[in-house]
Structure 1
Protein backbone atom coordinates (compact mmCIF):
# COMPACT_ATOMS: atom_id res chain seq x y z
CA UNK A 1 0.00 0.00 0.00
CA UNK A 2 1.37 3.39 -0.97
CA UNK A 3 0.85 6.30 1.45
CA UNK A 4 0.83 9.93 0.43
CA UNK A 5 0.40 13.34 2.03
CA UNK A 6 -0.46 13.48 5.71
CA UNK A 7 -0.66 9.73 6.10
CA UNK A 8 2.91 9.32 4.84
CA UNK A 9 4.15 12.03 7.21
CA UNK A 10 2.35 10.47 10.16
CA UNK A 11 3.62 7.00 9.27
CA UNK A 12 7.18 8.36 9.18
CA UNK A 13 6.84 10.15 12.53
CA UNK A 14 5.13 7.32 14.40
CA UNK A 15 8.29 5.27 15.08
CA UNK A 16 10.09 8.42 16.29
CA UNK A 17 7.30 9.35 18.69
CA UNK A 18 7.21 5.82 20.11
CA UNK A 19 10.96 6.01 20.71
CA UNK A 20 10.56 9.29 22.57
CA UNK A 21 7.82 7.85 24.77
CA UNK A 22 9.84 4.73 25.61
CA UNK A 23 13.22 6.38 26.24
CA UNK A 24 13.48 7.73 29.79
CA UNK A 25 14.74 11.30 30.01
CA UNK A 26 18.30 11.89 31.19
CA UNK A 27 18.79 13.87 34.36
CA UNK A 28 21.86 15.69 35.62
CA UNK A 29 21.81 13.58 38.78
CA UNK A 30 22.15 10.35 36.77
CA UNK A 31 25.93 10.77 36.59
CA UNK A 32 28.10 8.96 39.12
CA UNK A 33 28.68 10.97 42.28
CA UNK A 34 32.23 12.03 43.18
CA UNK A 35 31.13 12.15 46.83
CA UNK A 36 29.83 8.60 46.85
CA UNK A 37 33.06 7.41 45.23
CA UNK A 38 35.28 9.29 47.69
CA UNK A 39 33.30 8.01 50.67
CA UNK A 40 33.45 4.41 49.36
CA UNK A 41 37.23 4.63 48.89
CA UNK A 42 37.87 6.21 52.30
CA UNK A 43 35.61 3.67 54.01
CA UNK A 44 37.74 0.84 52.59
CA UNK A 45 40.93 2.14 54.29
CA UNK A 46 43.42 0.90 55.31
CA UNK A 47 43.04 -2.14 53.00
CA UNK A 48 41.80 -1.11 49.56
CA UNK A 49 41.92 -4.54 47.91
CA UNK A 50 38.11 -4.86 48.08
CA UNK A 51 37.77 -1.97 45.60
CA UNK A 52 37.95 -2.14 41.82
CA UNK A 53 39.33 0.24 39.26
CA UNK A 54 35.78 1.38 38.56
CA UNK A 55 35.14 2.61 42.12
CA UNK A 56 37.10 5.85 41.79
CA UNK A 57 36.30 6.91 38.25
CA UNK A 58 33.46 9.16 39.39
CA UNK A 59 35.96 11.35 41.27
CA UNK A 60 37.71 12.18 37.99
CA UNK A 61 34.63 12.28 35.75
CA UNK A 62 33.83 15.99 36.20
CA UNK A 63 37.41 16.80 35.20
CA UNK A 64 38.44 14.14 32.67
CA UNK A 65 37.08 11.14 30.78
CA UNK A 66 40.08 8.81 30.72
CA UNK A 67 40.56 7.92 34.39
CA UNK A 68 42.55 4.81 35.12
CA UNK A 69 42.17 3.65 38.70
CA UNK A 70 43.64 0.73 40.60
CA UNK A 71 43.36 -0.64 44.11
CA UNK A 72 46.04 -2.42 46.08
CA UNK A 73 46.19 -3.59 49.64
CA UNK A 74 47.80 -0.32 50.75
CA UNK A 75 46.35 2.39 48.47
CA UNK A 76 43.87 3.45 45.84
CA UNK A 77 45.17 5.50 42.90
CA UNK A 78 43.61 7.18 39.87
CA UNK A 79 45.26 9.15 37.09
CA UNK A 80 43.57 11.08 34.30
CA UNK A 81 44.00 13.84 31.75
CA UNK A 82 42.01 16.94 32.67
CA UNK A 83 39.52 18.37 30.18
CA UNK A 84 40.73 21.39 28.23
CA UNK A 85 42.11 24.14 30.35
CA UNK A 86 44.48 24.14 33.21
CA UNK A 87 45.41 21.11 35.27
CA UNK A 88 45.70 23.49 38.22
CA UNK A 89 42.02 24.44 37.83
CA UNK A 90 40.99 20.78 37.76
CA UNK A 91 43.18 20.10 40.80
CA UNK A 92 41.43 22.91 42.69
CA UNK A 93 38.08 21.39 41.69
CA UNK A 94 39.08 17.96 43.00
CA UNK A 95 40.22 19.57 46.26
CA UNK A 96 36.89 21.37 46.58
CA UNK A 97 35.06 18.06 46.03
CA UNK A 98 37.16 16.36 48.71
CA UNK A 99 36.56 19.20 51.18
CA UNK A 100 32.80 19.28 50.59
CA UNK A 101 32.31 15.50 50.47
CA UNK A 102 34.48 14.73 53.49
CA UNK A 103 33.84 17.61 55.92
CA UNK A 104 35.79 15.85 58.72
CA UNK A 105 38.97 15.82 56.61
CA UNK A 106 41.78 18.20 57.53
CA UNK A 107 43.20 20.10 54.54
CA UNK A 108 46.86 20.50 55.47
CA UNK A 109 48.49 21.26 52.11
CA UNK A 110 47.15 23.60 49.44
CA UNK A 111 49.52 24.37 46.59
CA UNK A 112 49.06 24.73 42.82
CA UNK A 113 50.63 21.29 42.31
CA UNK A 114 49.38 19.30 45.32
CA UNK A 115 46.40 19.12 47.67
CA UNK A 116 46.60 16.94 50.79
CA UNK A 117 43.92 15.94 53.30
CA UNK A 118 43.77 13.46 56.14
CA UNK A 119 41.12 11.85 58.31
CA UNK A 120 41.64 10.26 61.71
CA UNK A 121 44.16 10.46 64.50
CA UNK A 122 47.92 10.20 64.05
CA UNK A 123 48.90 6.57 63.71
CA UNK A 124 45.56 5.56 62.16
CA UNK A 125 45.06 8.13 59.41
CA UNK A 126 43.59 7.89 55.98
CA UNK A 127 45.41 10.30 53.70
CA UNK A 128 44.14 11.75 50.44
CA UNK A 129 46.52 13.43 48.02
CA UNK A 130 45.53 15.03 44.71
CA UNK A 131 48.39 16.27 42.60
CA UNK A 132 49.63 17.09 39.15
CA UNK A 133 51.38 14.11 37.62
CA UNK A 134 53.43 15.39 34.76
CA UNK A 135 52.49 18.09 32.30
CA UNK A 136 48.95 16.95 31.47
CA UNK A 137 47.91 14.42 34.10
CA UNK A 138 46.30 14.51 37.52
CA UNK A 139 46.62 11.87 40.21
CA UNK A 140 44.46 11.02 43.20
CA UNK A 141 45.87 8.72 45.83
CA UNK A 142 44.18 7.51 49.00
CA UNK A 143 46.21 5.52 51.50
CA UNK A 144 46.14 4.50 55.11
CA UNK A 145 49.06 5.21 57.40
CA UNK A 146 49.86 3.36 60.55
Structure 2
Protein backbone atom coordinates (compact mmCIF):
# COMPACT_ATOMS: atom_id res chain seq x y z
CA UNK A 1 0.00 0.00 0.00
CA UNK A 2 2.85 2.39 0.84
CA UNK A 3 4.51 1.66 -2.52
CA UNK A 4 1.27 2.38 -4.38
CA UNK A 5 0.76 5.64 -2.48
CA UNK A 6 4.37 6.70 -3.11
CA UNK A 7 4.10 5.90 -6.80
CA UNK A 8 0.86 7.88 -7.02
CA UNK A 9 2.41 10.87 -5.27
CA UNK A 10 5.50 10.74 -7.49
CA UNK A 11 3.31 10.61 -10.62
CA UNK A 12 1.25 13.57 -9.37
CA UNK A 13 4.40 15.62 -8.72
CA UNK A 14 5.88 14.83 -12.12
CA UNK A 15 2.71 15.46 -14.09
CA UNK A 16 1.64 18.66 -12.30
CA UNK A 17 2.46 21.93 -14.03
CA UNK A 18 5.71 23.41 -12.80
CA UNK A 19 5.21 26.23 -10.33
CA UNK A 20 7.65 29.12 -10.48
CA UNK A 21 9.35 29.62 -7.15
CA UNK A 22 11.48 32.50 -5.93
CA UNK A 23 14.50 30.23 -6.36
CA UNK A 24 13.75 30.03 -10.11
CA UNK A 25 14.55 33.71 -10.62
CA UNK A 26 17.78 34.19 -12.54
CA UNK A 27 20.58 35.17 -10.20
CA UNK A 28 22.33 38.51 -10.88
CA UNK A 29 25.52 37.21 -9.21
CA UNK A 30 25.74 34.20 -11.48
CA UNK A 31 25.25 36.45 -14.51
CA UNK A 32 27.84 39.00 -13.39
CA UNK A 33 30.42 36.30 -12.66
CA UNK A 34 29.77 34.65 -16.05
CA UNK A 35 30.14 38.00 -17.87
CA UNK A 36 33.37 38.94 -16.08
CA UNK A 37 34.81 35.46 -16.64
CA UNK A 38 34.15 35.85 -20.38
CA UNK A 39 36.08 39.13 -20.64
CA UNK A 40 39.45 37.56 -21.56
CA UNK A 41 37.93 35.83 -24.62
CA UNK A 42 36.22 39.02 -25.81
CA UNK A 43 32.84 37.77 -24.56
CA UNK A 44 32.59 35.29 -27.44
CA UNK A 45 31.21 32.65 -25.09
CA UNK A 46 28.23 34.81 -24.08
CA UNK A 47 24.75 34.99 -25.55
CA UNK A 48 22.57 38.11 -25.47
CA UNK A 49 20.37 36.58 -22.75
CA UNK A 50 23.30 35.98 -20.39
CA UNK A 51 23.14 39.54 -19.03
CA UNK A 52 19.40 39.80 -18.53
CA UNK A 53 19.56 38.46 -14.96
CA UNK A 54 21.67 41.47 -13.92
CA UNK A 55 18.87 43.80 -15.02
CA UNK A 56 15.91 41.68 -13.97
CA UNK A 57 15.53 43.01 -10.42
CA UNK A 58 15.39 46.54 -11.85
CA UNK A 59 13.65 46.10 -15.22
CA UNK A 60 12.47 43.33 -17.54
CA UNK A 61 13.32 44.48 -21.07
CA UNK A 62 17.13 44.20 -21.09
CA UNK A 63 18.81 44.07 -24.47
CA UNK A 64 22.37 42.75 -24.28
CA UNK A 65 25.10 42.17 -26.83
CA UNK A 66 28.84 41.78 -27.20
CA UNK A 67 30.55 44.20 -29.55
CA UNK A 68 34.14 45.42 -29.94
CA UNK A 69 35.43 43.88 -26.71
CA UNK A 70 32.50 45.07 -24.58
CA UNK A 71 29.43 43.24 -23.34
CA UNK A 72 26.65 45.74 -22.72
CA UNK A 73 23.04 45.71 -21.63
CA UNK A 74 20.45 48.49 -21.70
CA UNK A 75 17.06 48.32 -20.06
CA UNK A 76 14.13 50.43 -18.94
CA UNK A 77 13.80 50.85 -15.21
CA UNK A 78 10.89 48.85 -13.82
CA UNK A 79 7.99 50.50 -12.01
CA UNK A 80 8.99 48.87 -8.70
CA UNK A 81 12.67 49.87 -8.96
CA UNK A 82 12.21 53.41 -7.62
CA UNK A 83 14.00 56.19 -9.46
CA UNK A 84 16.70 55.52 -12.03
CA UNK A 85 19.26 56.60 -9.42
CA UNK A 86 17.79 54.09 -6.92
CA UNK A 87 17.93 51.31 -9.51
CA UNK A 88 21.53 52.26 -10.35
CA UNK A 89 22.47 52.05 -6.67
CA UNK A 90 20.86 48.60 -6.58
CA UNK A 91 22.90 47.42 -9.57
CA UNK A 92 26.06 48.81 -7.94
CA UNK A 93 25.24 47.00 -4.70
CA UNK A 94 24.82 43.76 -6.65
CA UNK A 95 28.17 44.26 -8.37
CA UNK A 96 29.92 44.97 -5.05
CA UNK A 97 28.31 41.99 -3.34
CA UNK A 98 28.77 39.55 -6.20
CA UNK A 99 32.31 40.53 -7.17
CA UNK A 100 34.16 41.11 -3.88
CA UNK A 101 37.51 41.46 -5.72
CA UNK A 102 36.21 44.45 -7.67
CA UNK A 103 37.43 47.92 -6.75
CA UNK A 104 34.66 50.52 -6.68
CA UNK A 105 36.36 53.71 -7.82
CA UNK A 106 33.44 55.91 -8.88
CA UNK A 107 30.14 56.35 -7.11
CA UNK A 108 27.88 59.10 -8.42
CA UNK A 109 24.15 59.46 -8.92
CA UNK A 110 24.49 58.72 -12.64
CA UNK A 111 27.51 56.41 -12.89
CA UNK A 112 29.07 53.55 -10.95
CA UNK A 113 32.46 52.20 -11.98
CA UNK A 114 34.36 49.12 -10.82
CA UNK A 115 37.43 47.30 -12.04
CA UNK A 116 38.99 43.92 -11.44
CA UNK A 117 42.62 43.04 -12.07
CA UNK A 118 45.98 44.73 -12.41
CA UNK A 119 46.57 47.76 -14.61
CA UNK A 120 46.86 46.66 -18.22
CA UNK A 121 44.76 43.54 -17.57
CA UNK A 122 41.69 45.09 -16.00
CA UNK A 123 38.09 44.23 -16.56
CA UNK A 124 36.08 47.46 -16.37
CA UNK A 125 32.47 47.39 -15.14
CA UNK A 126 30.33 50.48 -15.59
CA UNK A 127 26.69 50.88 -14.64
CA UNK A 128 25.02 54.17 -15.52
CA UNK A 129 21.73 55.91 -16.07
CA UNK A 130 20.91 56.63 -19.71
CA UNK A 131 18.15 59.18 -19.70
CA UNK A 132 15.23 59.45 -17.34
CA UNK A 133 14.26 55.81 -17.18
CA UNK A 134 17.05 53.78 -18.78
CA UNK A 135 20.05 51.99 -17.30
CA UNK A 136 23.13 50.52 -18.89
CA UNK A 137 25.75 48.00 -17.85
CA UNK A 138 28.99 47.75 -19.80
CA UNK A 139 31.76 45.25 -19.08
CA UNK A 140 34.97 45.51 -21.04
CA UNK A 141 38.20 43.60 -20.73
CA UNK A 142 41.73 43.67 -22.02
TM-score bracket, shorter-length normalisation: 0.7 to 0.9
The runs of 4+ residues in structure 1 deviating greater than 4 Å are none
**Cα deviation digits, residues 94-146 of structure 1 (max 9, x gap):** 0000000000000000000000000000000001000001121000000014x
**Cα deviation digits, residues 37-90 of structure 1 (max 9, x gap):** 000000001311221110100000000011000012401000001112300000
Q: Give the total of aligned pairs.
A: 127
Which of 56, 65, 85 in structure 2 is aligned with 1:61?
Answer: 56
Q: Map of 1:120-131 to 2, 5 A cutoff? A: 120-131=117-128
Q: Structure 2-normalised TM-score?
A: 0.84
Higher helix share: 2
Q: Which has the larger radius of gyration?
A: 1
Alpha carbon RMSD of aligned pairs, Å?
A: 1.6
Unaligned runs of 5+ in 2: 1-11
1:27 aligns with 2:30: no
2:105 is aligned to: 108
1:83 aligns with 2:78: yes
- How far 1:25 sits from its partner (Å)? 3.3
SS in 1 for 2:114: strand
